[in-house]
Amino acid sequence: MDTWWIRKRDKLLELAEQYPNAYVYDLESIRSAATAMSSLRSVKRVLYAVKANFNPDVIKVLASVGIDFDCVSLGEIEHLNTVLPDLDKNRILFTPNFAPRDEYVWAIGRGITVTIDNLYPLQQWPELFANREIFIRIDPEQGDGHHEYVVTSGSGSKFGVPLNEVSELKRLATAAGAEVVGIHAHTGSGIVNPKNWQTVANILARVAKHFSGVKTLDLGGGIGVPERTADAPFNLQELDSLLTNFCSDYPQYDLWLEPGRYLVAVAGVLLTRVTQIKGKGADCYIGVNTGINSLIRPALYDAYHEIVNLSRMNEGASKSATVVGPICEAGDKLGINRLLPETQENDVFLIANAGAYGHVMSSNYNLRDIPPEIVICD
């Protein structure tokens, strides 16, 4: 794990003096994840899934190192246009899901490439796609991920055209006068086995054979990040070598990836302060100044986020405690049974890997403030 926050601890403690709670993003860490991903020989384009974190500075730094963008709503496209007014529309892919007709009209009218993820738009609104180049999102029917809620393929998942509908899809696209130029899949989030994308690529290549105009296979995102300090980093080299082999079998296709978390998760931390400490029976609870209103992932996905007492990082971790927020929900737990140093009121706690699906999913639930986002560059 890139523990930039150990190197920058003094800076973070300074920030914690100014803000009761704060998301802090380290641009250097984002740049380095983006550079690692864009240097994969097998991958022609990397599109950042804007949904993961749409902070303007985060978007700008990614654009500056040549990353393109995957948007799932008009709001995301409009936001991109505000943050990067000169961004070429060809650097955006629009991949909505069950969006209303108007959103397709809007995006197509602006010349943005749209991904269709079921037959309905082609059946009901074929006129929108006449003489247009489109992407099709396929369900390769084998998903994976860190939690069932983030598995976006297979039975029970609402995403993608099932493989047995590909012939009908071809008929509808032809009837509409649309040209399928890209085949897309996104099978889940937090996937740690590089073979996933090789399998997806092979399935998409089989689908692509039905469409003579396909130039691109977009293999989606979902690249896992290490959750615990001891976890091995995702093996990008293995991914690259598997996909390089694929490319030598299918040189006619460009491969794209669409990472969200991989680019920004590790770069973000949530800083907060200890409010109260309580023993209850055999359990110890450490209360902090913000909870699942700021970071819902532990409650929503049972996600593990490393929690560190930043004020006492050099003291031995001696006590097991559950770290809870001030939200009136039994599920307001940021970390369960964590080994921490002897902790006191006002100690600064750092919640790691919070740069993706953190601030973007936060709310004012209980009328608690959403932490501000602070960006550090060096």
Ligand X SMILES: Cc1ncc(COP(=O)(O)O)c(C=O)c1O
Instruction: Indicate the DSSP class of residue 233.
Output: P
Q: Is 30 in the site for ligand X (CB under 6 A)?
A: no
How many other C-beta atoms can be found within 10 angstroms of the C-beta atom of residue 110?
13
328 an active-site residue?
A: yes
Tokens of 234: 């995702």
What is the C-alpha to C-alpha distance for residues 31 and 40, in angstroms, rounded to an integer?
15
Q: What angle do CA 140, 94, 208 make, to 5 degrees?
A: 35
Q: By CB under 6 A, name the one of 26, 68, 258, 373 that touches ligand X.
A: 258
- Cβ closer to ligand X: 297 or 338? 297
Cα end-to-end span (Å), the chain:
18
Q: C-beta of 356: minimal distance to ligand X in Å? A: 6
- Cβ closer to ligand X: 182 or 259? 259
Q: Is 49 in the site for ligand X (CB under 6 A)?
A: yes
DSSP strand pairing (373-376 vs 22-26)? parallel
Contact at 8 Å (CB) between 289 and 272? Answer: yes
Q: By CB under 6 A, name the one of 143, 260, 291, 371 that touches ligand X.
A: 260
Tokens of 370: 């959403």
Q: Is 262 in the site for ligand X (CB under 6 A)?
A: yes
User: Which window, 10-18, 44-52, 238-246, 321-329, contacts ligand X (CB under 6 A)?
Assistant: 44-52
What is the helix (H) or strand (E) element at residue 34, kind and residue range?
Answer: helix 27-38
Q: Which residue is nearest to ligand X (CB)?
A: 260
What is the C-alpha to C-alpha distance for residues 322 and 335, in angstroms, rounded to an integer?
6
- Cβ closer to ligand X: 31 or 147? 147
Q: By CB under 6 A, name the one of 140, 143, 221, 358 that touches ligand X.
A: 221
What is the C-alpha to C-alpha distance for residues 325 and 288, in angstroms, rounded to an integer?
5
Q: C-beta of 289: minimal distance to ligand X in Å? A: 27
**Of the candidates 303, 301, 339, the residue with the CA atom closest to the CA atom of residue 323:** 339
Contact at 8 Å (CB) between 265 and 355? Answer: yes
Q: C-beta of 262: minimal distance to ligand X in Å? A: 6
Q: Is 160 in the site for ligand X (CB under 6 A)?
A: no
Q: Where are the beta strands (DSSP E) in 58-187?
A: 68-71, 92-94, 113-116, 133-139, 161-162, 179-184
User: Which window, 5-13, 195-203, 257-265, 368-376, contacts ligand X (CB under 6 A)?
Assistant: 257-265
73 to 132, contacts with ligand X by CB under 6 A? 95
Choice among 71, 247, 328, 377 that is catalytic: 328
**Of the candidates 240, 246, 320, 340, the residue with the CA atom closest to the CA atom of residue 279:** 320
330 to 359, contacts with ligand X by CB under 6 A? 356
User: Which window, 13-21, 46-54, 329-337, 368-376, contacts ligand X (CB under 6 A)?
Assistant: 46-54
Q: By CB under 6 A, name the one of 58, 63, 84, 223 that touches ligand X.
A: 223
Q: By CB under 6 A, name the one of 68, 70, 306, 332 that touches ligand X.
A: 70
- Cβ closer to ligand X: 9 or 51? 51
Q: Is 186 in the site for ligand X (CB under 6 A)?
A: yes
Return the active site residues. Answer: 328
Query: What are the residues binding ligand X (CB under 6 A)?
Result: 49, 51-52, 70, 95, 186, 189, 220-223, 258-262, 356
